[in-house]
Structure 1
Amino acid sequence: MTDPTGAESTAHTDGTAVRGDRFSGGPARGFLSSLGADARIFEADIAVDRAHVVMLAETEIIDATAAGTILQALDTIAIEGHDALEGGEDVHEAIESAVIEQVGPEGGKMHTARSRNDEVATCIRYRLREDLLEAIDAAIGLREAFAAVATDHRETVMCGFTHLQPAQPTTLAHWAVSYERALTRDTERLFEAFDRTNQSPLGSCAFGGTPFPIDRERTATLLGFDGLVENAMDGASSRDFLLEATTALAGLATTLSGIAEDLVIYANRGFVELDDDYASTSSIMPQKKNPDSIELVRSTAGIAHAGVTGLLNTLKGLPRAYNIDLQNATPHAWDTVDAVTEATTVTAGAIATATFQVETLEAAAGEGFTTATGVADQLAMGGLPFRTAHEIVAQAAQHGSDLEAIRDAADEILEEPLETYCSENTIEKRLDPSQSVADRSSRGGPAPAAIDSQLELLTTELTEHENELEARNQSLVSAHEQLAEVTHQYV
């Protein structure tokens, strides 16, 4: 078969073998280059090149001999690594130039029926999906840490807060499950981002497809993609998958910031002691133990939110089809996924190794008259309008949080004795934080029985998500093995 690319140039490592002498230099050359930043997608590009060349050979667009020569060159380049690339506007051009350098003009056949536009879009998706699976794995690990805390502290009573003010008694388990549930939704959003990322744009070419009889389904299968981005213009130019992934990660980072804030406050109150691996001392005040790693976790939300904002502002107003502005979009996603995944892993370690001070938590559970709502609820259950019960307890709170204050307020507000609605003995019990927690057995509440139901649900969902993660990881591993096997048939 004749060379459909018409590649006749001699090889030059500066990229002129690919683009010609007209664009071989100039003051903007370095400004345009993304080669250094592209180290992250070097292995992805090698995989995409291999799959594309195999497909070209299978469809007889290029002959098997040319394919074998190119694939052998790619093996050498893969072994030598990204740092051995000598130049180019980006990693794609640099690899192609290196192939041509090794095998001559025949190497130019590698770029038949594709553009760097669909090539880079495929490489980004190829790498990002792996990063998303790592983020999901970290999120599952953090959920497991919270599930362990909840299991161990079903009856550990503590103070619950609203507006950072003592509000109602709850349990450490109830607190832990509340964050596990939020992290579950974060995990689900990451899975959804993965699924939309894992679609192949390869074969879209510059944006208008190709006259060559390519097999897009074949390259998608060899690269482990679940399907195709059907429209070529959409495939080459869209980066909403980056935005979706980064937004999901920013949501996870926001959850992490809340966890971190709680841990900082709880450490201040003596509710929790972080392991030394997740804290540090002052450079001048030797008595201090600072929750430094958790404070950095808290700040990670800023990195993630900046990633979303950066992407939105880079992507807005771009016309169809491809624009090189997109070169500056991808780093926002890389920065975000790296920072959030690391912060999630650190938080999981901090939670798993933390010592929750049970006695201190329980001693603070009733501070600020946290049982007031429970007393008002009990009066309402005895037939008193809740607003009247609320008024009685609110007035009592101004003078104390004991039975005498409640009795005095009731005598002033009610026309009948307090015991018409509730015995003083029952009220006395409701002033106990532990009893207040035990009473709140409604679905989702903090009572141990209600927590058991929540633990059963979260355990089931954790197992499902672990299995989903394993299935997706295994799918990528199988595709990698299949690509390696079919590649070796030509080399």
Structure 2
Amino acid sequence: MTEKQTWSQRFESSLHPAIALFNASINFDIALIEYDLTGSQAHAQMLAHTGIISPEEGEQLVTGLEQIRQEYRQGKFHPGVDAEDVHFAVERRLTEIVGDVGKKLHTARSRNDQVGTDTRLYLRDQIQQIKSQLREFQTVLVDIAEQHVETLIPGYTHLQRAQPLSLAHHLLAYFQMAQRDWERLGDVYRRVNISPLGCGALAGTTFPIDRHYAAELLNFDSVYANSLDGVSDRDFAIEFLCAASLIMVHLSRLAEEVILWSTEEFRFVTLKDSCATGSSIMPQKKNPDVPELVRGKTGRVFGHLQAMLVIMKGLPLAYNKDLQEDKEGLFDSVNTVKACLEAMTILLKEGLEFRTQRLAEAVTEDFSNATDVADYLAARGVPFREAYNLVGKVVKTTIAAGKLLKDLKLEEWQELHPAFTADIYEAISPRQVVAARNSYGGTGFAQVKKALLAAHAQIAEQ
């Protein structure tokens, strides 16, 4: 039999052991303990500030809660299933430490607004940590990009060779994705940083509390204006899961490219031993486990977002036990995003090397300069659509002859159109093809250098 819970005298017997286990959340919400202690200390200070309890009692509660914090950090506080959840575990231990005054902590508070406060404090902290990781990820991208402004890489659409690019430009595309992620988390943070403490179970409280004072102690920007909304709102968690899912989308896209680039078919990068594994039976293999795991873990974060949406879609006001299910997916998503950001940052910084000679060869073995032939003619007065069709025919006949555009003789160019002169060869060289795309945000070397300066400024932003 489990110990009888601290419910009212309405209950005559304890929970069935299996139901007690089913009902308990202590195995996972123990992750909130530091935040529960912080929130409880602020609540105790508010109770004393408003005269609901004496200053001496408030000090006892704050000191006792701090002792529990130290016990937890030292591994001396590890409540079991009989505590049901972290909130009861803390309150029970507090009463053991300070006596009956510990029973006053829950005055003017419900577990409903308490868990909402804890979760927001937790997520607020995690968002800041993830934003810091995103900056580290961006810094590595910029560091590599600065080394490869004039390294060329084939650019693709539909996974078909399209136009050559500066490798730095390619990497900075991921920088911009991460920048949106960083900014998006800042937007989410604003809606996380609202205090539900004092909303009570659903209707507020009869005690003369000061919600704004408690919120200020906890560095919340504001308080919920409606008590029903305060205890039942999980929009902030859904928004975070959306933002986390987009971070994973971006990491997964980069992971997929690294996987492709490391194949024998592409050979654009070499994986270093520190970030690759081998095969159990094929000694020649070097597997891209890091990007494959990132690609795979993306799905679990998506799943947690979908689960949270489904949990919320049919809940009547206000609090329902269904909301206990918000935590495991949220915790796992936080841990997954942080682990994947760390792994991909290490992979980029230490785990792969771009094969510049292979990349230089790759941009010379296709027709990705065909658009530049059309642009060449258009710049000389030929209507672009006419030039486009002419170049399409040139590509077709050149492929049939087993040649590339660079292999055509000047006479052949001039037979196609008299506007061609000897400078066509420079115009269609891969380096010039890239350099010429100097429009704002383009892959031209001058634009990429400006983009790098802008990236440094964004990284410096707090």
Q: Which residue of 2 aligns with 1:451?
A: 448
Q: Compute the displacement of 1:407 (Å).
A: 6.7
Picking from 103, 115, 119, the partner of 1:124 is 119
**1:445/1:59 CA distance change after superposition, 3 Å:** same
Is contact 2:29–2:327 with CA below 8 Å preserved after alignment? no
Which deviates more, 332-341 or 402-411?
402-411
> What residue number does 2:142 align with?
147
Aligned-pair CA distance for 1:132: 1.2
Q: What is the aligned counterpart of 1:63 among 54, 59, 78?
A: 54
> Which residue is equivalent to 1:108?
103
Is the 2:272–2:353 contact (alpha carbons within 8 Å) kept by the matching residues of 1?
yes
Give the aligned partner of residue 374 of structure 2.
376
Alignment of 1:334 with 2:328, yes or no, is no
| Counterpart Cα distance in 1 of 2:8 and 2:434 | 72
Matched, 1:438 2:435: yes
Moved more, 113-122 or 59-68: 59-68
Contact 2:248 2:337 in 1 (8 A): yes
Instruction: Tell me the alpha carbon deviations over residues 112-158 of structure 1, each in whole angstroms, 9 at most, x when there is no partner.
Output: 00100000000000011111111111111111111111111111111
User: Across the two proteins, how many residue pairs are aligned to each other?
Assistant: 446
* Corresponding position of 1:343: 340
Look up the match of 1:245: 240
* Alpha-carbon shift at residue 84 of structure 1 (Å): 2.9
Aligned to 1:307: 304
C-alpha separation in 2, matches of 1:208 and 1:455: 53
C-alpha distance in 2 between matches for 1:62 and 1:242: 33
Deviation at 1:264, TM superposition (A): 0.7
Deviations 1:181-220 (A, max 9, x none): 1111011111111221111111111111111111111211
1:386 maps to which residue? Answer: 384
Q: 1:85 aligns with which of 54, 65, 79?
A: 79
The one-letter code sitting in structure 2 at the alignment partner of 1:49 is S
Does 349-358 or 73-82 show the bigger shift? 73-82
- Indicate how the Cα distance of structure 1 residues 329 and 395 shifts in structure 2: closer, same or farther if over 3 A, else same: same
Q: CA deviation at 1:23?
A: 6.1
Deviates more, 1:245-254 or 1:290-299: 290-299
Question: Aligned partner of 1:296: which letter?
Answer: L
- Measured at CA, do residues 23 and 147 of structure 1 come closer, stay the same or move farther in structure 2, by a change above 3 Å? farther
Kept after mapping to 1: 8 A contact 2:4/2:15: no
Letter in 1 for 2:107: T
Please state how far the C-alpha of 1:431 moved relative to its aligned partner: 2.5
CA distance in 2, matches of 1:383, 1:25: 86
Give the structure 1 partner of residue 354 of structure 2.
356
2:93 is aligned with 1:98? yes
Tell whether the 8 Å contact from 2:414 to 2:420 is kept in structure 1 after alignment. Answer: no
User: Could you say which residue in structure 2 is the equivalent of 1:482?
Assistant: none
Q: How many Å apart are 1:24 and its aligned residue?
A: 2.9
Alpha carbons of structure 1 residues 217 and 15: separation in structure 2 relative to 1, 3 Å = farther
Match of 1:25 among 15, 35, 39: 15
Q: How much has 1:331 moved relative to structure 2? A: 1.5
User: For 2:345 and 2:55, how far apart are their aligned partners in 1?
Assistant: 50
1:40 pairs with 2:28: no
* Partner SS for 1:161: strand
Mark the CA change 1:23 to 1:358 in structure 2 (over 3 Å): closer, same or farther. Answer: farther
Q: Matched residue of 2:165: which SS?
A: strand
Structure 2 counterpart of 1:202, one-letter code? L
After superposition, the Cα gap between the structure-2 partners of 1:15 and 1:46, relative to the gap in structure 1 and judged at 3 Å, is farther
Q: Give 1:18 deviation, angstroms.
A: 4.9
1:110 and 1:407 map into 2 onto residues whose CA distance is 92
What secondary structure, in the 3-state scheme, does the structure 2 residue paired with 1:462 have?
Answer: helix
When normalised by structure 1's length, the TM-score is 0.87
For structure 2, the residue ranges without an aligned partner over 5 or more in a row are 399-403
Q: CA deviation at 1:384?
A: 0.9
d(CA) in 2 for partners of 1:103, 1:462: 48
Identical residues among aligned pairs (%): 36
- Inter-CA distance 56–369: structure 2 relative to 1 (3 Å threshold): same
Q: Distance in 2 between matches of 1:405 and 1:325?
A: 74
Deviates more, 1:115-124 or 1:327-336: 327-336
- After TM superposition, list the pairs within 5 Å mapping 1:186-205 onto structure 2: 186-205=181-200
Is the Cα contact below 8 Å between 1:399 and 1:405 reproduced in 2? no
Secondary structure of 1:84's aligned partner: coil
2:215 to 199, 207, 220: 220
- TM-score calculated relative to the size of structure 2: 0.92
- 1-side partners of 2:393 and 2:214: how far apart? 73
Per the TM alignment, residue 251 of structure 1 is displaced from its structure 2 partner at its CA by 0.2
For residues 242 and 4 of structure 2, what CA distance do their matches in structure 1 show? Answer: 36
Q: Deviations over 1:262-296 (max 9, x none)?
A: 11111112211233221111122222211111111
RMSD of the alignment, in Å? 1.9
SS in 2 for 1:169: strand
Q: Alpha carbons of 1:182 and 1:410: their partners in 2 closer, same or farther (altered >3 Å)?
A: farther
Runs of 5+ unmatched residues, structure 1: 1-12, 412-416, 468-491
What is the alpha-carbon distance in structure 1 between the residues aligned to residue 141 and residue 19 of structure 2?
51
Deviation at 1:16, TM superposition (A): 3.0
Q: Is the 8 A contact 2:30 2:85 kept in 1?
A: no
Question: Does the 8 A contact of 1:167 with 1:368 survive in 2?
Answer: no
How big is each residue's C-alpha offset from its partner over 1:390-431, in whole Å with a ceiling of 9 and x where there is no partner? 1111111123232638975885xxxxx612x332x1222222
2 CA distance for matches of 1:183 and 1:189? 10
- Measure the CA separation in 1 of the matches of 2:311 and 2:15: 26
Q: Secondary structure at the match of 1:225?
A: coil
SS at 1:160's partner residue?
A: strand
Would the aligned equivalents of 1:17 and 1:97 in 2 still touch at CA under 8 Å?
no
Aligned to 2:423: 426
